[in-house]
Amino acid sequence: MPFIIAIDGPAAAGKGTIARALAAHFGFHHLDTGLLYRAIGAKGGDPVAAARSLQPGDLDRPDLRSAEAGQAASRIAALPEVRAALVDFQHRFAAQEPGAVLDGRDIGTVICPDAAVKLFVTASDQVRAQRRAAELGADADEMLIQLQERDRRDRDRAAAPLKPAPDAVLLDTSHLTIAEAIARAIAQVEKARTAVSRN
């Protein structure tokens, strides 16, 4: 049975960095599920049809990391029909041996509620805005407004809102270095793997 790690949290909290590091450390597959919604927005046209026809190669577009793609993804992710169309894609990915790391907004609550490890990665609004501004070469104040708008949309949507799973471990990266955040995440996974091997 594959070992599944679910990582959720708002934009620019560090979940993608942590997810990639965990996948590399443990030799697991990694899926940034936010790219699914970004890819659908980039494809244009009817988002439900785009979701149903999504292929792994669609996730390789170079323009998917832009701020515009992120805003479009947040709007598209609020559509229940789009989310439903992507569930199978994500389930198939999570079922790969020896294990998979999926990061997004509803992995621990909706997509993989039985994941062996659930992390909810967060950071203060100001820290996240500064990180995203540095990443994109943008204005931090403008990024703060955009992130808060996106957070509100993600939290308030009816379909799979952004929230930690009841059994998720909270990892606040506001005052952690990347290495410290990754080390804490690895420790959580090691603890869970030890518990699984004993059962």
Query: Is there a binding annotation on residue 161?
Result: no
Query: Is there a binding annotation on residue 13?
Result: yes
Q: By the 8 A CB rule, do 108 and 170 touch?
A: no
The pLDDT score that the predictor gives to residue 66 is 81
Query: Is there a binding annotation on residue 34?
Result: no
Taking 50 as the pLDDT cut, the residues of the chain under it are none
CATH code of the domain covering residue 91: 3.40.50.300
Q: By the 8 A CB rule, do 4 and 99 touch?
A: yes
Rounded (10°) CA dihedral 169, 179, 74, 52: -90
The pLDDT score that the predictor gives to residue 178 is 96
Query: Is there a binding annotation on residue 9?
Result: yes
Which residue range is the domain that position 66 belongs to?
A: 3-198
How far apart (Å, rounded) are the C-alpha atoms in residues 86 and 171? 27
* Structural domain count, the chain: 1
Query: Is there a binding annotation on residue 14?
Result: yes
The pLDDT score that the predictor gives to residue 170 is 98
Query: Is there a binding annotation on residue 183?
Result: no
Query: Is there a binding annotation on residue 191?
Result: no
How far apart (Å, rounded) are the C-alpha atoms in residues 67 and 145? 12
